[in-house]
Amino acid sequence: MSRRTSPVIPGFGLTLGYTLVYLSLLVLIPLGAMFAHAAQLSWAQFWAIVSAPRVVAALQLSFTTALFAALLNGIVGTLLAWVLVRYRFPGRKIIDAMIDLPFALPTAVAGIALTALYAPAGLVGQWAQALGFKIAYTPLGITLALTFVTLPFVVRTLQPVLEDIPREVEEAAACLGAKPWQVFRYVLVPAVLPAWLTGFALAFARGIGEYGSVIFIAGNMPMKTEILPLLIMVKLDQYDYRGATSIGVLMLVVSFVLLLLINLLQRRIEKR
């Protein structure tokens, strides 16, 4: 291994060795074991499992709900980040501190709270009931739960970027005759887009894998409101290790691709 070490700072071998051993034992070997387990299946067997209607329905549901939740966060999160960075108003500090609540709150607590809120008899649910639609136990409820747990991603990735844009840039554009929408379109959007996409991708990736906050509000009806992580649990409960492993591999590949995209985006931001 070629390395350029500082000649006077000790500990390279010790810290790198410890890091590698710890990561291997806890993360890499167990994840590798799952792939090894899946490799015992032939392609045809694997394909038969992941193309079963119930799996495809769960995959579609997980994808669309995570996508809509990430989009909703892309809008609400941008609004919150903008207001928190640009304006000083009563309660700003409280909102800023509380944005991270979904990360600090156990997902099961979020799950039962949102279910109580959106169930037909709940505080918000009864209004929806009166208007003739249901929130809890439908994909809409799943989307709202995912929006809650992934709320901090977009806000927290946008905040530092917005802070770095000097107000003068927008004012200069306005002086040069740009209309507000032109300032928004040609000055702000290009500056924040990479960060926005990173936050969006993080929220999306988390949404696909999320379990605790969703299972209470989902209703968990096969083919209708059953998310992909739950399907792994169902297969495990039936001692269907092959099924669980195949779906696990499918999900991991999806998250690897997303992780790769996030890293590429971040590299582009750093290059600027």
Q: How far is the CB of 138 from another protein (least distance, A)?
A: 18
Site string for another protein, 20-39 (x = CB under 8 A): x-xx--xxx-xx-xx--x--
Q: Is residue 169 within the footprint of another protein (CB under 8 A)? A: no
Considering only 40-48, 52-60, 218-226, 246-254, which stretch makes contact with another protein by CB under 8 A? 246-254
Q: How far is the CB of 139 from another protein (least distance, A)?
A: 18
**Cβ neighbours of residue 95 closer than 8 Å, sequence gap 6 or more:** 80, 84
Q: How far is the CB of 44 from another protein (least distance, A)?
A: 22
Considering only 41-49, 127-135, 192-200, 211-219, which stretch makes contact with another protein by CB under 8 A? 211-219
Q: Which residues in 39-78 contact another protein (CB under 8 A)?
A: 76
User: How many residues make contact with another protein (CB under 8 A)?
Assistant: 91
Structure tokens at 68: 């809509």
| Distance (Å, whole) CA 90 – CA 24 | 49
Q: Is residue 234 within the footprint of another protein (CB under 8 A)? A: no
Among 48, 56, 98, 221, binds another protein (CB under 8 A): 98
Q: Is residue 219 within the footprint of another protein (CB under 8 A)? A: no
Is the CB of residue 76 less than 8 Å from the CB of residue 144?
A: no
Comparing CB distances to another protein, the nearer of 180 and 222 is: 180
What DSSP string describes 186-250?
IIIHHHHHHHHHHHHHHHHHHHHH--HHHHHHH---TTTS--HHHHHHHHHHTT-HHHHHHHHHH
Calculate ∠ Cα 242-244-245, nearest 5°.
65
Among 41, 52, 57, 102, binds another protein (CB under 8 A): 102
| Distance (Å, whole) CA 152 – CA 158 | 10
Q: Is residue 190 within the footprint of another protein (CB under 8 A)? A: no
Considering only 40-48, 53-61, 166-174, 187-195, which stretch makes contact with another protein by CB under 8 A? 166-174
Among 156, 212, 219, 224, binds another protein (CB under 8 A): 212
Among 138, 225, 245, 246, binds another protein (CB under 8 A): 245
| Distance (Å, whole) CA 205 – CA 147 | 12
Q: Is residue 187 within the footprint of another protein (CB under 8 A)? A: no
Structure tokens at 157: 């990735």
| Distance (Å, whole) CA 31 – CA 253 | 12
Is the CB of residue 180 less than 8 Å from the CB of residue 211?
A: no
Q: Is residue 261 within the footprint of another protein (CB under 8 A)? A: no
Cα 84 from chain centroid (whole Å): 22
Comparing CB distances to another protein, the nearer of 95 and 221 is: 95
Q: Which residues in 110-149 contact another protein (CB under 8 A)?
A: 110, 112-114, 116-117, 122-124, 147-148
Token look-up 């032109």 returns 182
Helix (H) or strand (E) run with residue 33 in it: helix 29-39
**Cβ neighbours of residue 57 closer than 8 Å, sequence gap 6 or more:** 222, 223, 224, 226
